[in-house]
Amino acid sequence: MRSLLLLAALAVTLVGTASAQDPAYRYETGTYAITNARIETVTNGTIENGTVVIRDGAIEAVGAGVSAPADAVVIDATGHTVYPGLIDGGTRLGLAEIGAVAVTIDTDEIGDVTPQVEALTAVNPSSTHIPVTRVEGVTHAVTVPQGGLLPGTAALIHLVGYSPDQMFAGSRAIVVNFPQSGRRGRWDRRTDEAIAKATEEAMKKLNDVWDEAVAYARIDSARTASGSSAPMPYQPEAAALLPVLRGEMLLMVEANAAADIRAALEWIEDKNVRAVLTGAAEGWRLADEIAEAGVPVITGPVTGLPTRGSDRYSRAYENAALLHAAGVEVALRTNEAENVRNLPFQAGFAAAYGARHGFTREDALASVTIVPARILGVADRIGSIEVGKRASLFVATGDALEPSTQVTHLFIEGVRVPIDSRHIRLYEEYLDRTPALALPGESR
Amino acid sequence: MLDRVTVIVRDGRIVAVDEDAEIPFDAQIIEGDSLWVYAGFLDLYARAGVDAPDAPDYDGDRGDPPREVAGIVPDRDVRTLYDPADNAVKALREAGFTAAHLVPKDGLFAGMGAVALLRQPGRAETTTSVFLPQTETAIAQIDGARGVYPATPMGVLSVMRETVENARREMGSREAFSRDASRALRPSYSPVMDALAPVLAGDRALVFHADSWLNAHRALRVTDEMEIPQTVLAGVPDVVPVLEKLRQRGVPFIAPLALPDTVAADSLAREITLPPATQAAPGGVSFVTDRRTVSFRDTDAETGALTAQRIASVQRAEASPARLAQAEIAFGFGSFDAKGGDVRDNLRRMVEAGLSREDALTALTTGAAEIVGLENALGTVERGKLANLVITTGDYFADSTDVRFVFVEGVRHEIEARKKKASGDPNAVVTATGTWTYSVTTPAGAQTGTLTITGEAGDLSGEIETDGDVSPLNSVTLEGDLITFTFTIQGGPDVSVSGTISGDEFEGTADVGSFGSFPMTATRQPE
Amino acid sequence: MPRFLSLSRGAHGPRTTASRRVRRPSSVARGLAVALALLLTATASPAQTPADLPPASARGDVLIRNATVHTVTNGTLDNTDVLVRDGKIDDIGQGLSAPRGVEVVDATGMHLMPGIIDAHSHIALSSVNEATNPIVAEVQMRDALDPSDVSIYRALAGGTTTAHLMHGSANPVGGENETIKFRWGTLDPDGLLFEGAPRTIKFALGENPTRVHGQGRGIRPRTRMGIEQVYREAFTEAQMYRAEQEAAEREGRPLPPVNRRLETLADILSGDVLVHSHSYRADEILMLLGVLQDFGVDRVTFQHANEAYKVAPELAAAGASASVFSDWWSYKFEVYYSSAYNAAVLARNGVRTSINSDDAGMIRHLYHEAAKTQRYGGLTDDEALALITINPAYQLGIDDRVGSIEEGKDADLALFTAHPLSVYATVAKTYVDGIARFDAERDGDDQRLYVDPDDEILDTSALLVRHEDGCMILR
């Protein structure tokens, strides 16, 4: 069985070569029928030997009895499986290019409170990371500003497009890095009192910003009610928070230590906002409380280290499963930039170690497809293979979460995207390099 | 142990120990009725009174600093750095120490140690005359230089190996030169070699100070590799992980007299009744002693576990000397950076942790003397030995005992009776509540402030003002007239206070961990 | 006027509400009960070494029955038994019977592979970089081992049994590394040593040493040009040193002073020490190959070597090895032109290649990192498994002892619940010298061997996720 898959994988790689010799990425649009496929719809079970029809960027038909329209380009996916595109709930994709080269990093703006800065503004559509990521089946990612208390507005992007706006996938969220009550690391030598004081100050700052925004919202409502045409005061921070206050935008609240998560839950309840908890590395410690609060979680990386020396080796692997078992809606994230492509494997690890807590492979797949789509409010458009949804999906030689599987075809928003990236091109150039270039050089 | 004996001291020597010794006419007589006489104690690793000269300024190549900056100073002589009048020396003496192996502080080869008698030099003597001759040691430690080579443990050990190897080679060169000068290179002056040569020849011990069990393993291996004939290991707080190696190699050990502060079974414990250890824990979870079954879903449980681990760590340190004695490893005690005033309390804790009084006494006297090769001069109350004596009101290890006199080479030091630790009258009826003005007497002057105690008997709480900050009091208990409580100075050490209340007056002590213990008084303000 | 109650100058302000919060009695009681339980255990065995972990010198006996056995060197054997006697693989076959007293493990449905070998790690160390000098050949990882690092246990839980503990990459020559076995349970650093493993040394090229020394301190090397000369000068000096020494010996003169730095460099030149060089770019890899060839050194492994795929034919021709990341890239400029297909290109070009972790997190799932080469380059199972077993064993010079399941080899084995290259696989048991040093059934909270009471409960460093090579810890 495995060797068959490998043969298939090799064959696919060779097919990929042909398209990749073209120096440019060629995107195609049209009507497609993926036939004879196993289809993991995520929301409606698995269809054996079925067909997916893509037209005008959307899924037109799905099913075993569906036949390919006459005008469709047919992709025979015999022995292959179709999956909805994977969604990473938290990344730095497009904002960070080369970790150690500061001028290529656009994640951290100056200032502790900058909710008005928009990740989408700085997403680099030409980032090398984007093709590298999408060819592994990751079609969408939330890209998140970092650092500070309110570092900016995160955006859900799909991984094809020539401009940030083209890449925008319909969901934005204000990010709160909830004040940390603990030490930031071994290097953090502050006294307990200094830490407590800093936490208190940060909490006060957060609440002050919030109060300002509430006041701003009241003025804005009163102004609208009065029909006044007087301009609103220029308060970009408050203005950015307005949609959150009105329940029109999601708040992403990053908290990881148990105590911080508990405080964050109380704060979320107090402010009565639509929020998602992100990070939640120690979420398993208070899974019941999170479930009771009804706040969904985007957690990861699954392969992170346990947060405490006394923790079982497997705690980080199991976190998603333990939250899920308590009834929390859980999506995954890589919290990565260049290696967002590992998202399917992160889901695989969550399943491998979650099995003992009843977290299945299907749960894991949902945590990188429909669940993040729901949390981000875009489940009507992406996250599963259903008629009417945008055609963001991929064809793979086998289980999408297994490393041995190859992605053979990729559609994002109905656009057929070539299986091509700089990594693949370098592979093709160098796999059998010698005969191509054997220049002697002059001796020194 | 002898009862009702007379000890006669003349010219710094013990001249008689006998039941009916004839008292010379010119002797001063100390009526020993009910007093106990011990041989003076020997501190095997003392930094008391030893000056630590500042490292020379250096801003040259970090990779190749001069040896003084790198810490290769085996030629540095503790006798040139010692001040016998230092208060720390006095504190050691008051704890019963009459002699000490004094050591220099910094560097990987930190210098030469030597044994001194803990008295002031006489008028006709030089400063160095309190040192006993031929007691030199070489001090080694895994102490990296700051920001220059060698900065890490691995750098330090590498430099040690090379330094020792080269000292050997130079010894060889000198020998060759003295045999036949015509065939050998002229050896050059090398203070490093001169200092290490006796160690390599087996005439001088290498005392290796290791501050952790991990460094102890490293120290034992590197001394093996360097083929050091006589190694003494010093300083590891928890010796158990290295015990077997010490035993196998026959390496003597110098146990630190400093102990970590005791950890109270803490705030978690205060509000509840302790369940018997055998009983299943409340909450339906059975916490059997196999820790693998414990599940840390509850962070309070985890905090409790960490407290328990802290307690266990303190207990390991307390039990270390007992384990050494059990394993029959030759050992003595060293004060290291312990405060003289804490030494007796710490010894008592070690005895409570299983060290027999006999073994403790041996380690303080004869055992220690043997390790430094001074068993002929020190360690026993015996005719002919140096008149180093400790005279107490009872068993040295009993809490109630006072050290009354310490003789160092016949020089008498009378010890001021220490402030009694409050023991209280369990039947007295007093109240503690109210606002008090307190005063703590420290070497740096008096500290005063307000202390407020509220609540009912059995449920007391309060706060204390220190230097403008207010700290809550913990574990406030009142039993009879004895009140105890603890508090934490903002960002500073924990303080535990105990004392007795009589009317509106409080008298007791404030114990500030390693900073020492200080008298404290307080007066209740009228309502 | 320092007064004793004023020791905390600078820390003012009210205490936190958290510390004042009244604890719920039930959890308080539970906390204390745990405290007491631990206390009892601690008192019973003061060293905190769990009594059920045998000493480092122990060698085990076990019959693992009916497993799918991935020998790596002799293919995959279905429904096969492996008998371990005295810490060695004694017999491999079907229907083996257990000698009297030998434990039998039913491994039906499970997969047995050789213990995973990590050719590049910095766990279990109390210092990593003696960054004060560009050349510190003389310092040794052996002096920095910390057998109580819980990372060892966590690595065992991922099937890893041996690691090559390396110096950091602050210096062109960082010092001698140490190959260890994960004999978790001992507090004696020597208990971890892989007896008989050859000496190896850490070199480092590129951004890290030029940053630390050239940019940081204004001394050579500041460029890749400078790095080449640093090596040439050091090797030349070592040659002169060795010649002088040999002359003294020949002529019966007393030996000149020893210089352990030059001594070690000279040992490299005489082939007694294997070179493992941190490297990324293709050009610097070729540079070092050239320098080593000029000085007659023929055994080298390029560590990280993100661009090794570009010079795979040259590496193959020189017999040089590569030990690489599965997919890390783009965390610094010199890894921007990387490809996740690196390992596959190298393997297919005949370069002895391993996949390493360089990281306390990744060392727990090297089997998964190896599996990624099936996605990125379609390696076969045996090719992929070789990347974390026999190939790193070869690079460390211990392939006669470990790295495959063969009779006579050390019984360092990892038993997986599924095919080890499957993402759904977890480790059931990990054996070192035939002793189960990890057993999922006996796992529990707090597996630390020795607890530093000053440690924080929460290790927030685990919450940060940014890749970089783990080589730049400046301590």
**Minimum distance, in Å, between the CA of residue A263 and any CA atom of chain C:** 11
- Token couple for A70: 């006459």
- Interface confidence, given as ipTM, is 0.94
d(CA A398, CA C350): 29
CATH classification at residue B174: 3.20.20.140
Q: Judge whether residue A274 has pLDDT over 90.
A: yes
Length, in residues, of chain C: 475
CA atoms within 13 A on the CB side of C388: 34
Please tell me whether residues B293 and B440 are part of one structural domain. Answer: no
Contact (Cβ atoms closer than 8 angstroms) between residue B445 and residue B438: no
Q: What is the DSSP string of A244-301?
A: HHTTSSEEEEEE-SHHHHHHHHHHHHHHT--EEEEE-TTGGGGHHHHHHHT--EEE--
**Minimum distance, in Å, between the CA of residue A195 and any CA atom of chain B:** 11
Query: Smallest Cα–Cα separation from B112: which of B73, B70, B162?
Result: B73
Pairing of strands C273-279, C300-304: parallel
* pLDDT tens by residue, A358-381: 999 999 999 999 999 999 999 999
Contact (Cβ atoms closer than 8 angstroms) between residue B275 and residue B282: yes
Please tell me whether residues C139 and C267 are part of one structural domain. Answer: yes
CATH classification at residue B440: 2.40.128.120
Backbone phi, psi, residue A197, to 5°: -65, -45
Contact (Cβ atoms closer than 8 angstroms) between residue B381 and residue B98: no
CATH classification at residue C72: 2.30.40.10
> Least CA distance to C370: which residue of chain A?
A403
Helix, strand and coil percent figures for chain B, each rounded to 5: 30, 30, 45
Query: Smallest Cα–Cα separation from B56: which of B29, B76, B37?
Result: B76
- Average confidence (pLDDT) over A337-352: 98
> Least CA distance to A258: which residue of chain B?
B299
Residues of chain B contacting residue C26, judged by C-beta atoms under 8 Å apart: 282-283
Report if residue B139 sits inside a domain. Answer: yes
Residue A382: DSSP 8-state? S
**Cβ contact (<8 Å) for B283 and C143?**
no
Q: What is the DSSP string of A360-378?
A: -HHHHHHTTTHHHHHHTT-
Q: C200 versus B273: which is more confidently predicted? A: C200
**Cβ contact (<8 Å) for C254 and B176?**
yes
Report if residue C159 sits inside a domain. Answer: yes
Amino acid at residue number C388: I
Q: How far is CA B454 from CA A72, A252, B426, B476, in A?
A: 85, 45, 21, 10
Query: Smallest Cα–Cα separation from B291: which of C457, A317, C51, A314?
Result: C51
Report if residue B74 sits inside a domain. Answer: yes
Mutation pick from C1, C4, C166, C187 vs chain B, by most beta carbons of B within 10 Å, is C4
* Domains recognised in chain A with CATH numbers: 2-85+403-432 (2.30.40.10), 86-382 (3.20.20.140)
Mutation pick from A313, A318, A402 vs chain C, by most beta carbons of C within 10 Å, is A313
Q: Which of A122-126, C6-10, C450-454 has the highest mean pLDDT?
A: A122-126
Please tell me whether residues B169 and B194 are part of one structural domain. Answer: yes
Report if residue C369 sits inside a domain. Answer: yes
Is A129's Cβ below 8 Å from some Cβ in C?
A: yes
Query: Smallest Cα–Cα separation from A418: which of A9, A4, A12?
Result: A12
- Average confidence (pLDDT) over A44-62: 98
Please tell me whether residues C149 and C266 are part of one structural domain. Answer: yes
**Minimum distance, in Å, between the CA of residue A184 and any CA atom of chain C:** 6
Report if residue B418 sits inside a domain. Answer: no
Pairing of strands A415-417, A407-412: antiparallel
Residue A65: DSSP 8-state? S
Report if residue B48 sits inside a domain. Answer: yes
C221 prior amide bond cis, ω within 30: yes
With a pLDDT cut of 70, the percent of chain A lying above it is 92
Q: Judge whether residue C18 has pLDDT over 80.
A: no
Please tell me whether residues B218 and B302 are part of one structural domain. Answer: no
- Token couple for C117: 């070998």
Please tell me whether residues C187 and C59 are part of one structural domain. Answer: no
Q: B63 versus C464: which is more confidently predicted? A: B63
Interface of C with B in 14-73 (CB under 8 A): 15, 20, 23-44, 46-48
Q: Judge whether residue A181 has pLDDT over 90.
A: no
State the SS3 of B239-271: CHHHHHHHHHHCCCEEEECCCCCCCCCHHHHHC
Helix and strand numbers (H, E) in chain B are 11, 23
**3-class SS of residue C271:** coil
* pLDDT tens by residue, A230-241: 999 999 999 999
d(CA B285, CA B299): 15
Please tell me whether residues B285 and B183 are part of one structural domain. Answer: no
Mutation pick from A191, A197, A260, A310 vs chain B, by most beta carbons of B within 10 Å, is A310
d(CA C117, CA A363): 33
| H or E segment and range at residue C292 | helix C282-294
Please tell me whether residues B59 and B133 are part of one structural domain. Answer: yes
Please tell me whether residues C130 and C277 are part of one structural domain. Answer: yes
Dihedral (Cα; A254, A260, A265, A270), 10-degree rounding: -100
Q: Judge whether residue C205 has pLDDT over 80.
A: yes
Q: Judge whether residue A311 has pLDDT over 60.
A: yes
Domain count, chain C: 2
Interface of C with A in 310-369 (CB under 8 A): 310, 312-313, 327-333, 336-341, 344-345, 348-349, 360-362, 364-365, 368
Is A224's Cβ below 8 Å from some Cβ in B?
A: no
Please tell me whether residues B221 and B283 are part of one structural domain. Answer: no
Please tell me whether residues C137 and C56 are part of one structural domain. Answer: no
Strands (E), B19-102: 36-39, 41-46, 97-102
Please tell me whether residues C128 and C161 are part of one structural domain. Answer: yes
Please tell me whether residues B292 and B363 are part of one structural domain. Answer: no
Query: Smallest Cα–Cα separation from A310: which of B279, B306, B182?
Result: B306
Backbone phi, psi, residue A302, to 5°: -65, -35
Q: Which of B302, B306, B491 sits opposite A193 (nearest CB)?
A: B491
Predicted pLDDT at A390: 98
Q: Judge whether residue A315 has pLDDT over 60.
A: yes
Residues of chain A contacting residue C473, judged by C-beta atoms under 8 Å apart: none
Report if residue C458 sits inside a domain. Answer: no
Q: A307 versus B102: which is more confidently predicted? A: B102
Q: Judge whether residue A21 has pLDDT over 60.
A: no
Is C374's Cβ below 8 Å from some Cβ in A?
A: yes
d(CA B200, CA B167): 8
Vertex C4 angle, CA B527 and C9, to 5°: 95
Give the residues of chain B that fall short of pLDDT 50. Answer: 266-298
Amino acid at residue number C101: G
Is B302's Cβ below 8 Å from some Cβ in A?
A: yes
**Cβ contact (<8 Å) for B302 and A259?**
no
Please tell me whether residues B123 and B223 are part of one structural domain. Answer: yes
* pLDDT tens by residue, C24-53: 333 333 333 444 344 333 333 322 334 468
Please tell me whether residues B339 and B483 are part of one structural domain. Answer: no
Residues of chain C contacting residue A335, judged by C-beta atoms under 8 Å apart: 465
Report if residue B334 sits inside a domain. Answer: yes
Mutation pick from B490, B494, B512 vs chain C, by most beta carbons of C within 10 Å, is B490
- Average confidence (pLDDT) over C98-109: 97
Is A423's Cβ below 8 Å from some Cβ in C?
A: yes
Q: What is the CA radius of gyration of chain C?
A: 25
**Cβ contact (<8 Å) for B299 and A192?**
no
* pLDDT tens by residue, C56-65: 999 999 999 9
Query: Smallest Cα–Cα separation from B496: which of B515, B512, B483, B507?
Result: B512
d(CA A384, CA A393): 8
Q: Give the confidence band of C420 by pLDDT, cuts at 50, 70, 90.
A: very high
Please tell me whether residues B236 and B277 are part of one structural domain. Answer: no
- Average confidence (pLDDT) over C98-111: 97
Please tell me whether residues B232 and B189 are part of one structural domain. Answer: yes
Residues of chain A contacting residue B305, judged by C-beta atoms under 8 Å apart: 310
**Cβ contact (<8 Å) for C25 and B271?**
yes
CA atoms within 13 A on the CB side of B83: 8
Predicted pLDDT at C453: 63
Residues of chain B contacting residue C25, judged by C-beta atoms under 8 Å apart: 271-272
Predicted pLDDT at A187: 64
Contact (Cβ atoms closer than 8 angstroms) between residue B209 and residue B235: yes
Predicted pLDDT at C288: 98
Please tell me whether residues C295 and C352 are part of one structural domain. Answer: yes
Q: How far is CA B33 from CA A27, A249, B37, C394, in A?
A: 106, 89, 11, 79
Contact (Cβ atoms closer than 8 angstroms) between residue A87 and residue A369: yes
Q: Is A18 exposed, middle or buried (0-12, 13-18, 19+ CB in 10 A)?
A: exposed
Please tell me whether residues B172 and B300 are part of one structural domain. Answer: no
Instruction: Print burial letters for C260-285: b (CB count within 10 Å at least 16), e (below 16).
Output: bbbbbbbbbbeeebbbbbbbbbbebb
State the SS3 of C443-464: CCCCCCCCCCCCCCCECHHHHC
Q: What is the DSSP string of C181-231?
A: E--BTB--GGGGB-TTPPEEEEEE-THHHIIIIIIHHS-S-SSHHHHHHHH
Q: How far is CA A320 from CA A299, A331, C369, in A?
A: 7, 8, 21
**Minimum distance, in Å, between the CA of residue B456 and any CA atom of chain A:** 30
Predicted pLDDT at B312: 76
Pairing of strands C413-416, C160-165: unpaired
d(CA B291, CA C51): 12
- Token couple for A347: 């889901």
Report if residue B20 sits inside a domain. Answer: no
* pLDDT tens by residue, A216-235: 999 999 999 999 999 999 99
Q: Which of A176-190, A277-291, B305-319 has the highest mean pLDDT?
A: A277-291
d(CA A20, CA B223): 63
Please tell me whether residues C373 and C248 are part of one structural domain. Answer: yes
Q: Judge whether residue C422 has pLDDT over 50.
A: yes
- Average confidence (pLDDT) over C433-461: 79
Report if residue B243 sits inside a domain. Answer: yes
Query: Could you list the residue range(s) of the whole structural domain that residue B250 is in?
Result: 44-260+321-374
Please tell me whether residues C303 and C370 are part of one structural domain. Answer: yes
Interface of C with A in 95-154 (CB under 8 A): 150, 153-154
Please tell me whether residues C244 and C279 are part of one structural domain. Answer: yes
Please tell me whether residues C272 and C297 are part of one structural domain. Answer: yes
Q: Judge whether residue C16 has pLDDT over 50.
A: no
Predicted pLDDT at B455: 87
- Name the residue with tokens 């269809």: A47
Residues of chain C contacting residue B213, judged by C-beta atoms under 8 Å apart: 187, 450
Query: Could you list the residue range(s) of the whole structural domain that residue C435 is in?
Result: 26-114+404-445
**3-class SS of residue A165:** helix
Domain count, chain B: 3
Query: Smallest Cα–Cα separation from B453: which of B497, B514, B418?
Result: B497
**3-class SS of residue A84:** strand
Q: Is A103 exposed, middle or buried (0-12, 13-18, 19+ CB in 10 A)?
A: exposed
Chains in touch with C (3+ beta-carbon pairs under 8 Å) read A, B
Q: Give the confidence band of A433 by pLDDT, cuts at 50, 70, 90.
A: confident
- Token couple for B171: 């010894």
Q: Judge whether residue A20 has pLDDT over 80.
A: no
Please tell me whether residues C208 and C92 are part of one structural domain. Answer: no
Of the ranges A16-30, C186-200, C348-362, which one carries the lowest mean pLDDT score? Answer: A16-30
Vertex B348 angle, CA B345 and B350, to 5°: 115
Report if residue B394 sits inside a domain. Answer: no
Report if residue C93 sits inside a domain. Answer: yes
- Average confidence (pLDDT) over C109-129: 97
Q: How far is CA B154 from CA B67, B122, B158, B242, C241, in A?
A: 17, 46, 6, 19, 23
Pairing of strands A138-143, A86-91: parallel
Q: Give the confidence band of C451 by pLDDT, cuts at 50, 70, 90.
A: confident
